[in-house]
Every structure is written in C-alpha cells, then in structure tokens.
Chains A and B, each alone.
Chain A
Amino acid sequence: GAGVSQSPRYKVAKRGQDVALRCDPISGHVSLFWYQQALGQGPEFLTYFQNEAQLDKSGLPSDRFFAERPEGSVSTLKIQRTQQEDSAVYLCASSLAGTADSGNEQYFGPGTRLTVT
C-alpha cells in the first residue's frame, strides 16, 4: 500500500522567501509528526497533530514556522522568511493510533530537502 509521501522532494529557496512543504500521511493514520534533520544529525521533533488538532508545537524553532492539518489528513509545514539555518531535511511521519501508549511505530516519508541560499 501507499506510504507517507512528501512534496516537493527538493526545494531551493532564496533567503527571505516563504516555502510550503506538503505531507500526505498513510490513509487512516490519526497522528502526524514533523521532524527537522540537519546534516549529520538525527531527526528533531518539530510538531505533532492528532487528527486536525495540533497538540504539541514545542519543537518549532521560531514563529516563522507554522504547520497545519485542517482536515485531519494532509499537512503543510510553512516556513516564512527563510534563513540559511533553515536548510535541512524535513521529515513527516504518521502513526495509526492517537497516542504512544503501546509504542506505536511512526512511518516516515522520504523527506523534503530544503536548501536556503
């Protein structure tokens, strides 16, 4: 079956531009996560949705970062006025259940590699 998909796969933005990154989770998955993976590092949590509700946005690095999931399926991560330090791979993951109460696996998409010049 279809996994998590993300688009675009690669994005080059000039400093100061706004970007929007899309995530299509696995159909029926309640939870959706965004992670940021800098070069040579492990993924770092950005934000979490349960259906359309954004329950945790503690990892968003600044108010330039905004995420939404208006209908509880597709999600968009928006970065306003991009800076060079925003260059990273942005990973989306989805999970079937609403909580991690049984150690539910997160299924990851291939990521969007953002390069800010």
Chain B
Amino acid sequence: AQSVTQLGSHVSVSEGALVLLRCNYSSSVPPYLFWYVQYPNQGLQLLLKYTTGATLVKGINGFEAEFKKSETSFHLTKPSAHMSDAAEYFCAVSRYNFNKFYFGSGTKLNVKP
C-alpha cells in the first residue's frame, strides 16, 4: 500500500529564508516520487520527480528534493524563498506499472516580506 504524509499544513518563512517542506511516504516497492505546486484557481504543476538514479533531484524555480530511502522521505527545499513561491505544495507517490498517484494533504507556503 502507498501513502503520503506531509508534516505541517501551513509553513511560513521570510523572503530570502530557507524553504523546507516535509514529505514521508510508505511504499511496499521502490517508489516514484513527485512534488507538485498549485497556485490559486490553477491546476497542479510539476516541480520535480524522482524515479531512479541520483537521489538529489533538481526542479524548476530553484527547488530540489532528496530521496532518502532509509528515512522514507522526499523533503522539498529551496535555499532562498521568493514571494512568488507562495502556493500550496503537494507530494505524491506512484510506482512501477501503477497508474495512479497518491497525494499528501498539501502544505501551504506563506512567504513574508
């Protein structure tokens, strides 16, 4: 069975500060892991994904995430927050030959000036 836990439904950071959004997953087999961002009244946009290979994955807008199998985590980071990063972020898990995503409940990021 697959499930995704995002710790912290709301995270607030100051502009220029480090962004850290947490995601832990459970999966019976090696997972595929995704981070999506959702702006108000818009669909989900892919930030980055991990399938195989290098465990540190770089995405768009300066975001990156590291797959840590031993910790079953895939936390999203960005060194310096920008006002335009304010949005809701969703972590999702899938796996080989499995045609659905399981999403976490989301984390709303607020960026203070």
Contacts and interface: CB of A to CB of B under 8 A. Distances in A.
Interface of A: 3-4, 31, 33, 35, 40-45, 48, 50, 55-56, 59, 91, 93, 99-103, 105-111
Given A43-B90, A103-B32, A55 B43 contact: no
A103 B51 CA distance: 6
Contact of A100 (B4, B41, B50, B99): B99
Given A103-B49, A103-B94, A108-B43, A42 B99 contact: no
30 contacts: A33-B99, A35-B103, A40-B105, A42-B103, A42-B105, A42-B106, A43-B44, A43-B101, A45-B101, A56-B99, A59-B100, A91-B44, A93-B44, A99-B97, A99-B99, A100-B97, A100-B99, A101-B96, A102-B51, A103-B50, A103-B94, A105-B49, A106-B46, A106-B101, A107-B46, A108-B43, A108-B44, A109-B43, A110-B42, A110-B43
A100 B95 contact: yes
A101 B43 contact: no
Interface residues of B, number: 31
Contacts, number: 72
Nearest to B102: A45
A61 to B, nearest CB: 15
Q: Taking each of B9, B36, B99, B100, which has the highest tally of chain A beta carbons within 10 Å of its own beta carbon?
A: B99
Closest 10 CB pairs of A and B: A42-B103, A103-B51, A103-B32, A108-B43, A108-B44, A45-B100, A110-B43, A42-B105, A48-B99, A43-B103
B12 interface: no
Contacts of B51: 102-103
Q: Taking each of B45, B52, B103, B104, which has the highest tally of chain A beta carbons within 10 Å of its own beta carbon?
A: B103
A111 B43 contact: yes
Contacts of A100: 32, 94-99
